[in-house]
């Protein structure tokens, strides 16, 4: 499902965020991505999502080479992905409901059916009853749940979460990870990055450890 | 197809919603577009009103030939004969200097003035009317007649009509220049307004792009917004001009009446309204498209 072949990413200015990475994530796997901040976790996720283009190597997602993807077909690839951003990227000028329905609006989903899906997604992440609120009034953990709801509402095949447990206390972080586990159980391929490795240890999943843009043991 | 229509329907609904939600800035934008479009529209209506009247005036091109004092009787009779046989001339009439003096004494209050003169200052003259009123042909005729023996000076009495024609042509050119300038301005104003909107909705655009929005999806609401404003702005321009004209027209009518003319400025008719609205919509479309295009180009 996700395949890296000797992928490197050098940012303008000469910083190598990711160096010569090769790995494969088969369909339906849940993988953790560990490493300190600056180790290249975010860059790796951005390479999968086609937000960044590799300087070298091949990034294969769903059978498509993301490096060769042209501008007009990239949006359609992205619709198979669910992205949870480190900085949330919540829109504070609209309600929780409108935030979550954005991916469906983009696809041009039927309004009634879309609303049903949005409410289902909000229910799944435990935000039932808050759909009319402005996201400002949500707590940090609830905002994270909002992001998750937005990432899964269109039922993507791949879910990429960049530091979804950062700034959350341990119990809350576990709740969030349990949520991801439940998506994994229905067959979604999931990559979760985090700098706190002790949290991942409880799940017994494969952990890709990054250090200075390379895998470490 | 249904899907496509739904996407467009949603954009249009949101556009109208945005217009209603921000009544002040919407009104301001409409005002700017309306006034920008009203100026050339008003000018065009004035020009077309005047030219429609000008074309109705039947110009009977009169030419006056003034003879030299030294012109002999032979010169006069020869010229009279030539004029009679000239195919370009419809009719001619000879007015002797004595006759002209008598006429002048009778018709004007200049009798006292003339009485102070020891001799008749007026020349012998022919008055003719040309068959063709075209300015270039009249000028050719004038030049030709000037070469005849004894002829001193020739006056084209239709010169004013010629001048009006030139004035209208100048007005037309002026109108074209103003249209080009203001059309550019309109597109730029809209482009700038849309650019500001893009900046205020930058985050939304970024998020939408990251989760799979196409360029068209991002472009659509801005384009719709601009085009709806263009359409309403065009209507507004027509309303402004119609209002101004209905205010001006009684005065214009009175003025024309004082000169013994029936004249009033034309109000924008239906096809004019359609053209103005269409042009405004097109221009705002272009402006918005360029603004969004420039913004989207930043991402690759």
| Cα dihedral value A39, A41, A46, A49, nearest 10 | 150
How many other β-carbons are positioned within 10 Å of the β-carbon of residue A86? 16
H or E segment at A112?
Answer: helix A111-125
Which of A49, A71, A78 has its CB closest to that of B300? A71
Q: Grade residue B59 by pLDDT with cuts at 50, 70 and 90.
A: low
Mean pLDDT of the residues in chain B: 85
Q: What is the mean pLDDT of residues B56-74?
A: 77
Look at residue B93 in the predicted model and tell me its pLDDT.
Answer: 84
Of A120-134, A177-191, B144-158, the range with the lowest mean pLDDT is B144-158
If one compares B95 and A145, the residue with the highest pLDDT of the two is A145
Place of tokens 């496509």: B4
User: Which of these ranges, B43-47, B157-161, B278-282, has the smallest mean pLDDT?
Assistant: B157-161
In the sheet that holds A16-25, the strands lie side by side as A16-25, A2-10, A56-61, A64-65
A50/B contact by beta carbon, under 8 A: no
Kindly report the length of chain A: 217
CATH number of A1-80+156-217: 3.40.50.300
Query: What pLDDT is recorded for position B57?
Result: 64
Closest Cα in chain A to B205: A91
A89 contacts in chain B (CB < 8 Å): 203, 206-207, 210
Q: How confident is the model at residue A98 (pLDDT cuts 50, 70, 90)?
A: very high
Mean pLDDT of A109-127: 91
Q: For residues A11 and A6, give the distance between their C-alpha atoms in angstroms, rounded to a whole number.
A: 16
Residues of chain B neighbouring A81 (CB-CB closer than 8 A): 211-212
Strands A214-215, B62-67: parallel, antiparallel or unpaired by DSSP? Answer: unpaired
What pairing do the DSSP bridges indicate for beta strands B62-67 and B125-130? antiparallel
Q: Least CB-CB distance to B203: which of A72, A89, A106?
A: A89
* Cβ separation A93–B3 shorter than 8 A: no
Give the mean pLDDT of A196-217: 87
Return the pLDDT at B145: 84
Interchain proximity A75–B206, CB inside 8 Å: no
**Residue B138 in this model has a pLDDT that exceeds 60:** yes
Q: Is 0.90 surpassed by the pTM of this model?
A: no
- Give B211→chain A minimum CA distance, Å: 6
pLDDT above 70 for A13: yes
Give mean pLDDT, residues B36-60. Answer: 81
State how far the Cα of A1 lies from the Cα of B15, in Å rounded to an integer: 40
CA-to-CA distance for B298 and B291, rounded, in angstroms?
Answer: 12
Q: What does the pLDDT average to over B25-40?
A: 91
Q: Give yes or no for residue A198 having a pLDDT over 70.
A: yes
Res. B131: pLDDT tops 80: no
Question: Is 60 exceeded by the pLDDT of residue A142?
Answer: yes
The answer to whether A93 faces chain B, any CB pair under 8 Å, is: yes
pLDDT digits (tens, 9 = 90+) for A22-81: 999 999 999 999 998 888 999 999 999 999 999 999 999 988 898 888 888 899 999 999
Contacts of B199 in chain A (CB under 8 A): none
Residue B60 banded pLDDT, cuts 50, 70, 90: low
pLDDT greater at residue B283 or residue A195 = B283
SS3 (DSSP) at A37: coil
Mean pLDDT of B13-19: 78
DSSP A195: S
Q: ipTM score here? A: 0.89
Query: How far is it, in rounded angstroms, from Cα A136 to Cα A125?
Result: 17
**In which residue are the tokens 């979550």 written?**
A100
Domains and CATH numbers, chain B: 12-57+162-297 (no CATH), 62-157 (3.30.70.3040)
HEC sequence for chain B: CHHHHHHHHHHHHHHHHHHHHCHHHHHHHHHHHHHHHHHHHHHHHHHHHHHHHHHHCCCCCEEEEEECCCCCHHHHHHHHHHHHHCCCEEEEEEECHHHHHHHHHHHCCCHHHHHCCCCCCCCCEEEEEECCCCHHHHHHHHHHHHCCCCEEEEEECCHHHHHHHHHHHHHHHHHHHHHHHHHHHHHHHHHHHHHHHHHHCHHHHHHHHHCCCCHHHHHHHHHHHHHHHHHHHHHHHHHHHHHHHHHHHHHHHHHHHHCCCCCCCCCCCHHHHHHHHHHHHHHHHHHHHHHHHHHHHCCC
Among chain B residues, the shortest Cα distance to A51 is held by B210
Test A83 with B211 for CB contact under 8 angstroms.
Answer: yes
Q: pLDDT tens across B85-127, in order?
A: 888 888 888 888 888 888 777 765 666 666 777 777 788 888 8
Strand order in the sheet with B62-67: B89-95, B125-130, B62-67, B151-156
Average pLDDT over residues B256-283: 88
pLDDT per position as a tens digit, B202-237: 888 999 999 999 999 999 989 999 999 999 999 999
**Rounded to whole angstroms, how far apart are CA atoms B22 and B272?**
30
pLDDT average, residue stretch A85-91: 92
Whether the CB-CB separation of B79 and B148 falls below 8 Å is answered with yes
Question: Is pLDDT of A180 > 80?
Answer: yes
Instruction: Considering only the beta carbons, identify the residue of B204, B212, B214 that sits closest to A103.
Output: B212
Q: Residue A195: which pLDDT band, with cuts at 50, 70 and 90?
A: confident
Q: Please report how many Cα atoms fall inside a 13 Å half-sphere around the Cα of residue B167, on the Cβ side.
A: 12
Parse chain A into domains and list their residue ranges.
1-80+156-217, 90-154
Q: Out of B6, B210, B215, whose CB is closest to A83? A: B210
Rounded distance, CA A43 to CA A35, Å?
12
Share of chain A above pLDDT 70, in %: 100
Q: How confident is the model at residue B133 (pLDDT cuts 50, 70, 90)?
A: low
Residue B145: CB partners within 8 Å, gap ≥ 6?
B63, B65, B151, B154
Residues B234-259, mean pLDDT to the nearest whole number: 89
């Amino acid at each position: 499902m996700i395949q890296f072949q000797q992928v490197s990413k050098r940012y303008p200015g000469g910083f190598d965020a990711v160096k010569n990475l090769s790995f494969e994530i088969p369909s339906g796997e849940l993988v953790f991505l560990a490493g300190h901040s600056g180790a290249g976790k975010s860059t790796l996720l951005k390479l999968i999502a086609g937000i960044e283009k590799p300087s070298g190597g091949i990034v294969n997602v769903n059978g498509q080479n993301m490096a060769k993807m042209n501008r007009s077909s990239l949006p359609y690839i992205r619709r198979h992905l669910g992205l949870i951003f480190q900085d949330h990227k919540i829109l504070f000028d609209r309600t929780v409901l409108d935030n979550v329905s954005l991916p469906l609006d983009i696809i041009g989903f039927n309004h009634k059916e879309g609303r049903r899906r949005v409410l289902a997604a909000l229910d799944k992440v435990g935000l039932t009853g808050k759909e009319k609120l402005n996201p400002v009034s949500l707590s940090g953990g609830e905002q994270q749940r909002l992001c998750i709801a937005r990432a899964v509402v269109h039922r993507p095949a791949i879910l990429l979460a960049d530091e979804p447990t950062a700034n959350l206390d341990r119990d809350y972080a576990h709740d969030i990870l349990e949520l991801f586990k439940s998506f994994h159980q229905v067959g979604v391929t999931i990559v979760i990055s985090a700098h706190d490795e002790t949290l991942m240890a409880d799940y017994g999943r494969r952990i890709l450890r990054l250090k200075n843009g390379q895998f470490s043991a | 197809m249904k899907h496509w229509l739904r996407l467009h329907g949603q954009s249009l609904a949101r556009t109208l919603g945005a217009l209603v939600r921000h009544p002040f800035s919407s009104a301001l934008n409409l005002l700017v577009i309306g006034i920008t479009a009203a100026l050339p529209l008003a000018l065009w209506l004035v020009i077309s009103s005047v030219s429609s009247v000008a074309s109705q005036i039947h110009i009977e091109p009169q030419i006056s030939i003034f003879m030299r004092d030294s012109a002999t009787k032979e010169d006069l009779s020869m010229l009279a004969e030539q004029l009679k046989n000239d195919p370009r001339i419809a009719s001619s009439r000879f007015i002797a200097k004595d006759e002209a003096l008598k006429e002048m004494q009778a018709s004007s209050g200049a009798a006292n003035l003339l009485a102070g003169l020891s001799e008749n200052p007026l020349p012998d003259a022919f008055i003719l009317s040309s068959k063709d009123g075209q300015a270039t042909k009249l000028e050719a005729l004038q030049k030709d007649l000037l070469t005849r023996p004894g002829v001193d000076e020739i006056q084209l009495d239709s010169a004013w009509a010629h001048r009006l024609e030139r004035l209208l042509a100048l007005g037309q050119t002026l109108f074209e220049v103003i249209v080009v300038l203001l059309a550019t301005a309109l597109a730029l104003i809209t482009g700038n307004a849309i650019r500001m909107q893009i900046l205020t909705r930058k985050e939304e655009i970024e998020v939408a792009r990251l989760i799979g929005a196409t360029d068209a999806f991002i472009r659509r609401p801005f384009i719709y917004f601009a085009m709806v404003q263009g359409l309403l702005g065009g209507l507004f321009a027509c309303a402004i001009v119609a209002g101004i004209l209905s205010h001006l027209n009684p005065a214009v009518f009175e003025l024309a009446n004082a000169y013994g003319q029936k004249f009033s400025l034309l109000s924008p008719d239906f096809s004019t309204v359609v053209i103005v609205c269409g042009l405004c919509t097109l221009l705002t479309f272009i402006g918005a498209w360029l603004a969004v295009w420039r913004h989207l180009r930043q991402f690759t």
